[in-house]
């Protein structure tokens, strides 16, 4: 008997309450619900996915993470990736990142890029684990004046 299923799938409007809970928990300056709705419904280059755990035998489903990344021609940008703090270090974030990289590769994306807070060493190490390297620093990038670290993954070379 199968007790737990994990699925990475496109985000649906019904997922917004759970995604917003993760958004508000994980980010210093969280996006608004309208921002995520725009990404999901109107932005033609956006890919917004959730990772959902379910216990079919119990009829339970819960969103534990999400990602929003853009594909424009042969490049991609990870705008957001987040996993609920209660489930971090379980491999969920890595599975989502692998799915993004696989999708980017299939779409002939050459590079994936992202910005991350200089102080967020956990995230920086997570990205490095997945093949990203530090390109340069963006001084004063964030609202509070914190620098961003700009990271790149050469998708077609790492696969």
Q: In this structure, what CATH number is given to the domain that contains residue 115?
A: 3.40.630.30
| CA-wise closest residue to 140 among 158, 115, 159 | 115
Does residue 121 lie in a domain region?
A: yes
pLDDT at 1: 41
Does residue 22 lie in a domain region?
A: yes
Does residue 123 lie in a domain region?
A: yes
Q: pLDDT digit string (tens) for 74-110? A: 999 999 999 998 888 878 889 999 999 999 999 999 9
pLDDT at 59: 72
Sequence length of the chain is 159
| CA-wise closest residue to 85 among 114, 71, 64 | 64
Q: How far is CA 86 from CA 30, 63, 65, 82, 117, in A?
A: 18, 12, 11, 12, 21
- Report the C-alpha gap between 91 and 103 in whole angstroms: 18
pLDDT at 159: 55
Q: Of 148 and 57, which is predicted with more confidence?
A: 148
Count of the separate structural domains present in the chain: 1
Spatial contact of 36 and 12, defined as CB atoms under 8 Å apart: no
Does residue 81 lie in a domain region?
A: yes
Q: Of 16 and 6, which is predicted with more confidence?
A: 16
Does residue 159 lie in a domain region?
A: no
pLDDT at 29: 85
- Mean pLDDT value across the chain: 90
pLDDT at 5: 79
Per the structure, the complete domain to which residue 120 belongs is given by 5-154
pLDDT at 90: 79
pLDDT at 157: 74
Over the range 132-158, which residues count as b (16 or more CB within 10 Å of their CB) and which as e? beeeeeeeebeeeeeebbbbbbebeee
Q: pLDDT digit string (tens) for 24-62? A: 999 888 899 999 999 999 999 999 999 998 877 777 788
The pTM assigned to this predicted structure is 0.89
């Amino acid at each position: 008997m199968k007790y737990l299923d994990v699925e990475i799938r496109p985000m649906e409007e019904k997922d917004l309450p759970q995604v917003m809970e993760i958004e508000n928990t994980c980010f210093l300056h969280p996006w608004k619900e309208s921002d995520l709705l725009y990404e999901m419904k109107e932005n033609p280059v956006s890919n917004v996915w959730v990772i959902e755990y379910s216990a079919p035998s119990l009829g339970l489903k819960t969103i534990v993470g999400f990602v929003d990344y853009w594909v424009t021609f042969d490049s991609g940008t990870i705008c957001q990736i987040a996993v609920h703090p209660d489930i971090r270090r379980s491999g969920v974030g890595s599975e989502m990142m692998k799915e993004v990289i696989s999708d980017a590769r299939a779409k002939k994306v050459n590079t994936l890029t992202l910005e991350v807070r200089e102080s967020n060493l956990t995230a920086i190490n997570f990205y490095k684990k997945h093949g990203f390297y530090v390109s340069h620093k963006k001084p004063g990038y964030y609202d509070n004046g914190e620098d961003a670290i700009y990271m790149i993954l050469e998708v077609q070379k790492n696969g």
